[in-house]
Amino acid sequence: DVKVTQSSRYLVKRTGEKVFLECVQDMDHENMFWYRQDPGLGLRLIYFSYDVKMKEKGDIPEGHSVSREKKERFSLILESASTNQTSMYLCASTMDRENSPLHFGNGTRLTVT
């Protein structure tokens, strides 16, 4: 089974802090994604990557950056946390973005105070 691991289940950060969310997958997937989930808004794509050192903006990239130095790891960075970034962050990966489903981690619930 594919395992996508997000390093933290819960995080509490202060406004203005730089926040790092880590995600690791163990199935040699080339494609990795970061989503944000909010009630009533569903999943919104922040950033994705189709290869090492490659990144593409999703629908809501503002205030974020990403890092993909190794194939198995995809990090999401909140440059300066704000209270409106309090949310659930979901990482996902897939082998084939055309014909395969996404496999999700358990999510990181971030609270910014």
Partner 1 sequence: GEDVEQSLFLSVREGDSSVINCTYTDSSSTYLYWYKQEPGAGLQLLTYIFSNMDMKQDQRLTVLLNKKDKHLSLRIADTQTGDSAIYFCAEIGGGNTPLVFGKGTRLSVIA
Q: Is 43 in the site for partner 1 (CB under 8 A)?
A: yes
Helices (H), the chain: none
CA atoms of 10 and 37, how far apart (whole Å): 14
CA atoms of 56 and 24, how far apart (whole Å): 18
Site map 71..110 versus partner 1, x via CB under 8 A: -------------------x-x-x--xxx-xxxxxxx-x-
Site for partner 1 in 45-64 (CB under 8 A): 45, 48, 56, 58
Q: How far is the CB of 100 from partner 1 (least distance, A)?
A: 8
Q: How far is the CB of 68 from partner 1 (least distance, A)?
A: 15
CA atoms of 35 and 54, how far apart (whole Å): 17
Dihedral, CA of residue 36, residue 38, residue 44 and residue 46, to nearest 10:
-30
Query: 4 vs 81, which CB is nearer to partner 1?
Result: 4
Tokens describing residue 61: 């990239």
Residues at the interface with partner 1 (CB under 8 A) = 4, 6, 9, 31, 40-43, 45, 48, 56, 58, 90, 92, 94, 97-99, 101-107, 109
